[in-house]
Structure 1
Amino acid sequence: MIIVLTAVLFGAIGLVLAIGGVELVALSGSPFYLAAGIVFILTAILLLMRRKAALWLYGLFILATLGWAILEVGFDWWQLGTRGGLVILLAFLLLLPAVRRRLSGGDAPLWPVGIPVLIALVVAGYSITIDPLDKEGTLPTEAVVQTPAYGGEVADAEWHQYGRTPFGQRYSPLTQITTENVKDLKVAWTYQTGDVKQPGDVGETTYQVTPLKVGNRLYLCTPHNWAIALDAATGKEVWKYDPNVGLNPDRQHQTCRGVTYYADPAATAGTECATRVYLPTSDARLIALDAESGKICTSFAEGGILHLETGMPYNPAGYYYSTSPPAIADGKIIIGGAVNDNYSTQEQSGVIRAYDVNTGALIWNWDSGNPGQTQPIGPGETYTANSPNSWSVFSVDEQLGLIYIPLGNQVPDQIGIGRSENVEKYSSSIVALDIKTGAERWVRQTVHHDLWDMDVPAQPVLLDITRPDGTPVPALVGPTKQGDLYVLDRRTGEPIIPVSEQPAPGGAVEGDFSSPTQPLSALSFRPPRLEEKNMWGVTLIDQMACRIAFHKLKYEGQYTPPSLQGTLVYPGNFGTFNWGSVAVDPERQVMFGMPTYLAFTSRLVPRADVPPRGQDEKGSEQGLNRNDGAPYGVYMGPFLSPLGIPCQAPPWGYVAGVDLRTGQIAYKHRNGTVMDMTPLPLPFKVGVPGIGGPMITKGGVAFLGAAVDNYLRAYDLTTGRELWKARLPAGGQATPMTYALDDGKQYVVMVAGGHGSVGTKPGDYVMAFTLP
């Protein structure tokens, strides 16, 4: 009976491989899967005939599979293992005495299958010990400057803004925690906010906040926009403010990346609202709170509240709000806003507005649809509908008088028909505005005629880079979704590290066009072009399915335009870098980041074929994006196998270090495990995706959560090697920060609350770690 069952199993697998193999060959794909299917079927027939030749045939097939796999992927274990895993697993069935004894003549020898299995295991063992995709190297350790510009007067022990200072460096001068003692970090305190994901919440309900530390307080916000103050020493709640934003299924995001702190230099210390916390909300308000008590500062705007929908040409509830903390400079609070991607062409404006930080009076407005008019619009006037918006975090150089704005795209992201001249100029760019007037000083576009949702997603990072002759240059580092890092002179927007124009694929849908060239920075984490051999799967079968899907998609490399047949978008619109940005050490002038690699697909749907409106059919990174008012809707999502794992081979996530003076990538290591991606808690270090940001300390340690396994990790900034990790009770898709108390004791704080888009465990934890 066992030999019959074994034969049936081989035959069934062979049939699946043969049928899929025929389709793959018809698509000009690899003939291996068809050949494998034939071998499995022949092995099944020989087993039913009780022929020892089944063992010989299968043994030769093992060797052939091993040779084919090495030719395709070398000695990368994670790709070799999935090509050979099923083959070797089934070989053990043939080695069972119960099978061999039932072959003609009885007691068939082990070695026809056993020796090939042994060879395969030896190769597997060797491949486990190496990583051909790992890049070893070290960053320079010497300080280039002893007193770098951090951007703003922030004491070493404090963390006053999202990126610690207006420069957004995510760098702390604290040194108590070092590469030698970081392994001893322990939990100091844990606070639970009480803001947990609700049954009626939108899918992308996420904890993305980086707390601030001012004096003896921490200030943070939660996904439903509660503002909270904690005691920095104990984590105990000081006050909590709930703006009652309610639930709205039309919101695309339910999140808050941070609050903004302000101390009024003209106010008497201790008086009401002398210090403030500004809270952006998901119902399009900006609320001023007394930092001491959490009460509303009624002197600001209308009873303490700015209504950001003012001046918008369209105002459906839930379609516009700010997810990121505004910037404060020169007595102004400057804010942008997020619009719902791909819901409708009748979107709110992407206007950037500057208000008086004390009164809430509008001082200037910069609208990329009407960029020359920055004087406040009058009553009854509206801003340009559906102009590129800025949903991420701004950076400020008050000495230069400039604020740096990362801009997104016009809705719909994947269709460029009828875009205006201004949209073509400002979409997916970094813009420098005059803080006093809002006038544009320069613009640097990172994608021409963006058809792939390649918003500039990250806060630009400011530092001074020292030239070889010792001259400091005010620089800006702009991470992008497509993997380029733009290193620019922040005075002019001109490249410090060269940017060139490279040919790009054509073939946009009728009525649209694609840019013949696209910019490419000489400092880039763009991945190589995908090939069929890069398709992955747990078994030969789902790997074959990914290869078939790959050939059915339109793909001519990066920037292949969206299509009716479906286009492969790689890197995907999840981004190589996203809102977590990068961290820089301004003394050593080096950078630490987390490049992520996930392919996406986009398939355009003519308006007449878009299904009737359904409850879950709205703009998002997955599913149908309706694009009401546009000639096409679009189906989007990650490029996944039938088992729901990425079709392209890992690593899907790295940590990396860059010398910003030379523009050279020093190291690149797989980051994170599949611990929380699989039904079984397997700690395999595959290199997983993540969203969130890093933080660096002068002690030479970089901290990063972000990965889709629930850990906070510490790395040696010089080598990128992991030094310590702490298990988190929920997903850590936020950016850590650090501070010290008056006694010098240093803490690292991480928020663990999960991320709806990547499916990590939700929670409501704020955790502080310190040395014992």
Structure 2
Amino acid sequence: MLNFLTSGLLALIGLALAGGGVWLIAVGGSWYYALAGLAFLVAAFLSFKRKPALLPFYGLFLIASLIWAVWETGFDWWQLGPRGGITVLIGLWLITPMFRKTLTSGKPVPDVKPARSFLLEGSVVLAVVVAVYSMLNNPHEIAGRLPSEPVASSPAYGGTVPDGDWHQYGRTPFGQRYSPLDQVNVDNVASLEQAWVYQTGDMKRVDDVPETTYQVTPLKVGETLYLCTPHSWAIAIDAKTGQEKWKYDPGIPQNPDRQHQTCRGVTYYKDPAVTENGPCTARVFLPTSDARLIALDADTGEVCPSFGDEGTVHLEENMPYNPEGYYYSTSPPVAAAGKIIIGGAVNDNYSTKSQSGVIRAYDINTGELIWNWDSGNPEQTEPIPDDQTYTANSPNSWSVSSADEALGMIYVPLGNKVPDQLGMNRDENVETYSSSIVALSLETGQVQWVRQTVHHDLWDMDVPAQPALIDITQDGQTVPALVGPTKQGDIYVLDRRTGEPIIPVNEVPAPGGAIPEDFTAPTQPVSDLTFMPDPLTEKDMWGMTLFDQMACRIAFHQLKYEGRYTPPSLQGTLVYPGNFGTFNWGSVAVDPERQVMFGMPTYLAFTSKLIPRAEVPPRGTEKASEMGINRNEGADYAVSMGPFLSPLGVPCQAPPWGYVAGADLRTGEIAYMHKNGTVEDMTPLPLPFKLGVPGIGGPIMTKGGVAFLGAAVDNYFRAYDVSTGDQLWETRLPAGGQSTPMTYETDDGTQYVLIVAGGHGSIGTTPGDYVIAYKLAE
């Protein structure tokens, strides 16, 4: 019976590998799988016939497979494992006394002589040695150290925020995500413990859209924390105890057409000219997912009726189209120069009849419109009349902007025109401003400069992150700089006065081959400071087993792929970096004293396939913006997109998929990259293997030399040594930590570190409603 079962198993493996291997050869891939399938079939025959020759034959096959695997991947355990796992396990079974007794060739021989299996036993031992060595090897690491000495003695943090506070999304208008607090430092961070937990009560609902996410970074002003929730509640809590002070629910109606249900933050403002406290002298501005901007009294949570229309500015005003759920604000506006400045998000790839991407500046006290900048009509920045509409479907800014009041500029990260994957019918303004960082005058809204990060964007490579403003010292001179992370992995370090590169940006040739109606840009910009991944090859394909790895190899060759910026196609295109981006709205953290950055580059390939309008399925099949069919109503093509996954649902590309990394902003040198995160919450079994996993969220840094980061798809919150990237501390979260943390100090001198844990609908992390603060153990 054992012989029969073994023969059958070998035959099944052989048939699967041989069949798939022939298919792989037909599409131009490796011959190994077909040859391995043939070897398994020969082994099945020898086993069925009870031939002792099975053992040396399989030993030779195992050695050949090991040589092939090391030749393809080197000594990378997570690449070798899927290639050799089944093969080695079969070898281990064949050398057991239980099985060897079946190899009698029909004669009553009590056992097979040990010499018969010596080659097989030796090959198994060799495979184990290679495996152990590979486990100790770390071929993907960059191990180095950032400079530890401060460069700037009096660094510019932006604004006048007290050291212990966090007044805007990135702490100050500069968006540095840096705190000058150092009570928690590299020497004591390991003793952090939970101080308090607050639950908002805003949980994901059954009828919520898939991309319901909790991405908020709370603000801390005085002794109060201010935050919002996915359904646009505003909440104030005590910074020391976590006790609720007030809660405001704007009553957002559920809408299945709304693509995103999230709120990344609120905006605080207090008029410096008002010396006495009174109703609405300090305000919290709440952006909502039904396109409102509401002013609340920071002390009570009551609506401020003197702002706008009884406390509300309606962002759908003067829009060319207004289907409910297609336009909203997911990010906090910027308070600067007496203005509250806000953009908005549109549903990606739903319809060509999308709202405008206009940026509007309102008087922060009255809500009166002061200027509007519409990239489709960039010269007319004075408020448009009531009977005029903004340009339909112009590039929008769904992320967070930064401001430098001394220079009089706001720095806006811009997205693309819908549809993202179709470049037909784009006018000159779209080609100029899409997927760019634009500097506008705080006074008038007029364009000061523009730096485009993708030409003729066909890949949804919006500039997703708030630019970080920092002064950089070069050749003894201080240069006001801007650090702009992009989805494609480039870090733009620009002179924020002019937009000119401080770290060089070069134009490099890009792939062609767009559909006949479209075209591609012949070159694309690449910064010298880049986390752009190497192009994928068939050898980079991965899987849990030989079988799904083979399937990924077949799929790889069936997709159109010529490296970064391969255009969308009817056959299907591999997009790498994918739509989630190497960096996303979590941005990077910059240290204005040491002039270094800390970030979380993520690498996850996506696929996109254009679908002619006549072949688009009926309505109701559309998904969130990065998954499934995006309908593009009004365009000639819809697009189907999603992560490039194996039949078992794991990424087709080999890990690592996520890192923590540090770079010197003066030189553009990457000092280190370390795998970040485990698969504990990605697999049915809680296996804490540190593969380096994807994430979405952002880091912060402190003067204590510590960086804090949640974001990864495992439910952990971690601290790192900024100098080396080494992990110093971690704690388990009750839900996904897909937000950016913050830190603050209370009036008793205690430094707290805080993160919101509520999960992310698109990546399937655990939902929740937790606000968790940590402090050093007493």
TM-score range normalised by the length of the shorter chain: over 0.9
The answer on 1:587 being equivalent to 2:580 is no
Report the alpha carbon displacement of residue 268 of structure 1 after superposing the two structures with TM.
4.5
Measured after TM superposition, the shift of residue 548 of structure 1 is: 0.1
Task: Tell me whether 1:686 sits opposite 2:691 in the alignment.
Answer: yes
Give the C-alpha shift of residue 740 in structure 1. 0.6
Matched letter for residue 609 of structure 2: R
Aligned residue in 2 for 1:107: 111
Query: Which of 249, 268, 273 is the aligned partner of 1:242?
Result: 249
2:516 maps to 1:510: yes
Paired residue for 1:639, among 635, 639, 644? 644
Contact 2:210 2:624 in 1 (8 A): no
Tell me what 2:634 maps to. 629
Deviation at 1:106, TM superposition (A): 4.4
- Give the AA of the match of 2:346: V
Aligned 8 A contact 1:343 1:619 in 2: no
Which amino acid letter does the alignment assign opposite residue 38 of structure 2?
A: I
Name the residue aligned to 2:73: 73
In the alignment, which residue of structure 2 is the partner of 1:278?
285
Q: Distance in 2 between matches of 1:677 and 1:94?
A: 33
Instruction: Find the aligned partners of 1:52 and 1:270 in 2 and give their Cα distance.
Output: 92
SS in 2 for 1:63: helix
Distance 1:267 1:235 in 2: 29
The AA in structure 1 aligned to 2:459 is W
Letter in 2 for 1:57: F
What's the counterpart of residue 346 of structure 1? 353
* Count of residues in Structure 1 that have an aligned counterpart in Structure 2: 770
How big is each residue's C-alpha offset from its partner over 1:172-228, in whole Å with a ceiling of 9 and x where there is no partner?
Answer: 000100111000000000001000000000000000000000000000000001100
> Is residue 340–residue 619 contact of structure 1 (8 Å, CA) maintained in 2?
no
In structure 2, how many angstroms separate the alpha carbons of the residues matched to 1:106 and 1:76?
Answer: 42
- Give, in angstroms, the shift of residue 146 of structure 1: 1.3
Between 1:639-648 and 1:265-274, the stretch displaced more is: 265-274
3-state SS in 2 of match to 1:213: strand
Q: Flag structure 2 segments of 5+ consecutive residues without an equivalent.
A: none
* Kept after mapping to 1: 8 A contact 2:624/2:762: no
* 2:58 counterpart of 1:51: no
Q: 1:757 aligns with which of 745, 748, 762?
A: 762
Asked whether the equivalents of residues 428 and 455 of structure 1 are also in contact (C-alpha less than 8 Å), the reply is yes
Matches within 5 A, 1:170-319: 170-319=177-326
Secondary structure at the counterpart of residue 635 of structure 2: coil
Q: CA deviation at 1:33?
A: 0.4
Deviation at 1:98, TM superposition (A): 2.0
Deviation at 1:430, TM superposition (A): 0.2
Counterpart-to-counterpart distance in 1, 2:141 and 2:534: 15
1:355 aligns with 2:362: yes
Answering whether residue 587 of structure 2 is matched by residue 604 of structure 1, we say no
Deviation, structure 1 residue 62: 1.2
Cα contact 2:214–2:758 (8 A) shared by 1: yes
Deviations 1:601-637 (A, max 9, x none): 00001111111212x4156111011100001001100
Query: Which residue of 1 is the match for residue 540 of structure 2?
Result: 534
- Which of 566, 569, 592 is matched with 2:572 structurally? 566
Structure 1, residues 480-526: CA drift from partner, whole Å, max 9, x if none?
A: 00000000000000000001110000010011000010001111000
Identify the residue that residue 87 of structure 1 maps to in structure 2. Answer: 87
Say if 1:428 and 1:454, in contact at 8 Å, map to a contact too: yes
Structure 1 residue 744: Cα displacement:
1.4
Q: State the one-letter code of the partner of 1:577.
A: F
Per-residue CA deviation, residues 635-691 of structure 1 (Å, 9 max, x unaligned), is 100000000010000000000000001000000000000000000000000000000
The alpha carbon displacement at 1:28 in A equals 1.4
Q: Which residue of 1 aligns with 2:497?
A: 491
Q: Please show how residues 434-473 of structure 1 align to structure 2 within 5 Å.
A: 434-467=441-474, 469-473=475-479
Matched to 1:756, the amino acid is G
Corresponding residue for residue 478 of structure 1 = 484
Q: Write out aligned runs for 1:4-23 (5 A).
A: 4-23=4-23
TM-score normalized with structure 1 length: 0.99
Rounded Cα–Cα distance in structure 2 between residues aligned with 1:216 and 1:619:
38
Corresponding position of 1:729: 734
Query: Which residue matches 2:553?
Result: 547
Q: Equivalent residue for 2:378?
A: 371
**Greater CA drift, 99-108 or 288-297:** 99-108
CA deviations on 1:427-447 (whole Å, 9 max, x unpaired) are 000000000000000000000
The corresponding residue for 2:164 is 157
Alignment partner, residue 527 of structure 2:
521
Q: What is the one-letter code of the residue matched to 1:348? A: Q
* Cα shift at 1:111: 2.6
Q: Which runs of 5+ in 1 are unaligned?
A: none
Query: 1: CA distance between counterparts of 2:82 and 2:695?
Result: 23
CA distance in structure 2 between the aligned counterparts of 1:101 and 1:613, rounded to whole angstroms = 62
**1:307 counterpart letter in structure 2:** H
CA RMSD, 1 decimal = 0.8
In the alignment, the residues of structure 2 paired with residue 568 and residue 638 of structure 1 have an alpha-carbon distance, to the nearest angstrom, of 10
Displacement over 4 Å in runs of 4+: none
1:605-620 aligned at under 5 Å gives the runs: 605-614=611-620, 616-618=621-623, 620=625
How far apart in 2 are the matches of 1:269 and 1:761? 45
Partner of 1:135: 142
- Separation in 1, partners of 2:323, 2:161: 40
Q: Which SS does the other structure have where 2:708 is aligned?
A: strand
Between the aligned partners of 2:718 and 2:688, the Cα distance in structure 1 is 14
In structure 2, what residue type is equivalent to 1:685?
K
- 1:770 is paired with a residue whose SS is strand
Is the partner of 1:481 in helix, strand or coil?
Answer: coil
Q: Is the 8 A contact 2:601 2:661 kept in 1?
A: yes
Q: Distance in 1 between matches of 2:272 and 2:509?
A: 53
Give CA-to-partner distance per residue, 1:515-543, whole Å, 9 cap, x none.
Answer: 01000111100000100000000110000
Task: Tell me, in whole angstroms, the C-alpha distance in 1 between the residues paired with 2:254 and 2:276.
Answer: 38
| Contact preservation (8 Å) 2:698, 2:739 | yes
Name the counterpart of 1:2: 2
Q: CA–CA distance in 1 between the matches of 2:525 and 2:102? A: 66
Query: In the aligned structure 2, how far is the partner of 1:671 from the partner of 1:97?
Result: 43
Question: Is 1:699 equivalent to 2:704 in the alignment?
Answer: yes
d(CA) in 2 for partners of 1:152, 1:548: 55
Q: Is 1:207–1:754's contact at 8 Å kept on the other side of the alignment?
A: yes
Query: Does residue 394 of structure 1 match 2:398?
Result: no
Q: Distance in 1 between matches of 2:764 and 2:593?
A: 37
Moved more, 73-82 or 686-695: 73-82
* 1:243-268 CA distance string (max 9 Å, x none): 11021100000000000000022334
Q: Alpha-carbon deviation of 1:114? A: 1.7
Aligned partner of residue 465 in structure 1, secondary structure: strand
Q: Aligned with 1:204: secondary structure?
A: coil
Distance across 1 between alignment mates of 2:226 and 2:7: 65
2:110 and 2:28 map into 1 onto residues whose CA distance is 43
Question: 1:710 aligned to 695, 707, 715, which one?
Answer: 715
Q: TM-score, normalised by structure 2?
A: 0.98
Kindly indicate whether the alpha-carbon contact (under 8 Å) linking 2:202 and 2:769 is maintained by their aligned counterparts in 1.
yes
Contact 2:397 2:412 in 1 (8 A): yes
SS of equivalent to 1:355: strand
From 133, 149, 154, the equivalent of 1:147 is: 154
